[in-house]
Amino acid sequence: MSNLKIYNTLARDKQTFVPMEAGKARMYVCGMTIYDYCHIGHARMMMAFDVIYRWLKASGYDVTYVRNITDIEDKIIRRAVENGETISQLTTRFTEYMDEDTGALGILPADHVPRATAYVPQMLDLIEKLEARGLAYQADDGDVNYAVRNFPNYGKLSGKSLDDLRAGERVDVNTGKRDPLDFVLWKSAKASEPDEVKWDSKWGQGRPGWHIECSAMACALLGEQFDIHGGGADLQFPHHENEIAQSEGAFGRTMVNYWVHNGFVRLDNEKMSKSLGNFFTIREVLKKFDAEVIRFFILRAHYRSPLNYSDVHLDDARVALTRLYTALAEVAAEPGALDWREAHAVRFAEAMDDDFNTPVAIAVLFDLVTEVNKGKSAALARQLKGLAGVLGLLERAPQQFLQAAVGDAVQAGEAAIAQAIAARGEAKKARDFALSDQIRADLLAAGIILEDKPDGSTNWRRA
């Protein structure tokens, strides 16, 4: 029996993970709506499910991970028209930027990355099923809407009653609806919209609503029912609520067994988002901080908790990560596979099996550092490197991290540093300790810390 427990939003409790098929796990995560650069809030979401993906695989599951791309939506259309470019040009460009950013952060690619525009036929089939079951209707304005009050379980994910809810429309509330709670499945084409966002259907030309996209892509790639569906907490309602209504309404069976939602990134106690204009893009932050420092900063918080963004917190993460790498610089890890029976590994696994508790897992890494520093054990250094690797950390050579320059900052080059260290060595040989100390101080002022070794050699790292 699995030891893994996952907090299921639908159950509002941690539940033991029992996959639908033994040894296999199928997971769908709502990805980016591609019209701009990804910000740190997006990084937090993708990082959360990257860690879940990694831990499921480390636990021996054969994982099928789907993370979609929304490449047709009102904001995308507006941005492309404003830019005077095609929607395909806009979404292709920003998809490439997203892949660059996620790659820098060590976020593994999903097994499938479907684009919504490639699944319009599946969306139309799904809408037809809903219409046949009395759950969809075409309004006078040509839009096809979902009849929310005809689906008895609507509101079960968000825990809201029908009387508490408002329309699930993402942009404009449609006056052609029979009920303000109804949401659009198929948007009738408008003359002002580009031809590339118009598809033929039995209801006339149009394009899919946002919610139907994920239902169709998830079903096409994972089946009518699958194990895990994830996304940001802001998607719980209306997006995920509407997905349940669509998929369960069409197929008459449970859509997802475990609903997983990550918490927000906050700045000055407000959710970081494009709509509020209080966000930092991943690219902006990468100019100031090493990519692994950003990853470490995100993982030090539990995925469901709020994450407070600040340069101070990132600086603290850099210092902490430096401590981990410094231990491996001092004691080389012996070759060999990770020993999951070793005490630290057992504690690490217990933490990760407890709803992917990365803060506790990282605390285990620091306990290992203490032991490595104390006993100079190459076996424990191997455990440190191996366990951190499960989280996508400590995968570089220690000196590569410790000596890495960050972003666009102008910093001392490695050749100049080596030359200064050599000059200091000559000064020490000549017993000119004043010059030796001055060189050390000059390097420190340039952000370079020297570490003298017992054998007379000198290592360096950036402050």
DSSP assignment string, 165-185: -----SS---TT-SSTT-EEE
Neighbouring-strand partners of residue 219: none
CA–CA distance from 264 to each of 52, 68, 82, 214, 414 (Å)?
A: 17, 20, 30, 21, 39
Does residue 155 surpass a pLDDT of 80? yes
Q: Are 203 and 138 in contact (CB under 8 A)?
A: yes
Average pLDDT over residues 237-255: 97
CA–CA distance from 279 to each of 43, 88, 127, 284, 462 (Å)?
A: 12, 25, 36, 10, 28
Three-point CA angle 316, 312, 304, nearest 5°: 75
- In 311-424, DSSP assigns E strands to none
Which residue from 321, 310, 294 is spatially nearest to 104, judged by alpha carbons? 294
Q: Would you give the distance in Å from CA 404 to the centre of its chain? A: 24
Neighbours of 60 (CB within 10 A): 10
The 10s digit of each residue's pLDDT in 171-203 is: 445 468 899 999 999 999 999 899 999 999 999
Q: What band does 169 get if pLDDT is binned at 50, 70 and 90?
A: very low
Instruction: State the pTM of this model.
Output: 0.87
The 10s digit of each residue's pLDDT in 300-344 is: 999 999 999 999 999 999 999 999 999 999 999 999 999 999 999
Q: Is 214 annotated as a binding residue?
A: yes
Which of 76-85, 290-299, 407-416 is least confident? 407-416
Give the pair of three-digit tokens for residue 51: 């860690």
Q: Are 160 and 168 in contact (CB under 8 A)?
A: no
The 10s digit of each residue's pLDDT in 21-59 is: 999 999 999 999 999 999 999 999 999 999 999 999 999
Q: Are 53 and 28 in contact (CB under 8 A)?
A: no
Give the pair of three-digit tokens for residue 370: 């203490």
Instruction: Please report where in the chains the tokens 């003359």 appear, as a residue.
Output: 191
Q: Is 274 annotated as a binding residue?
A: yes
Q: Is 75 annotated as a binding residue?
A: no
**3-class secondary structure, 326:** helix
**Torsion angles phi and psi, residue 137, rounded to 5:** -150, 155
Q: What band does 243 get if pLDDT is binned at 50, 70 and 90?
A: very high
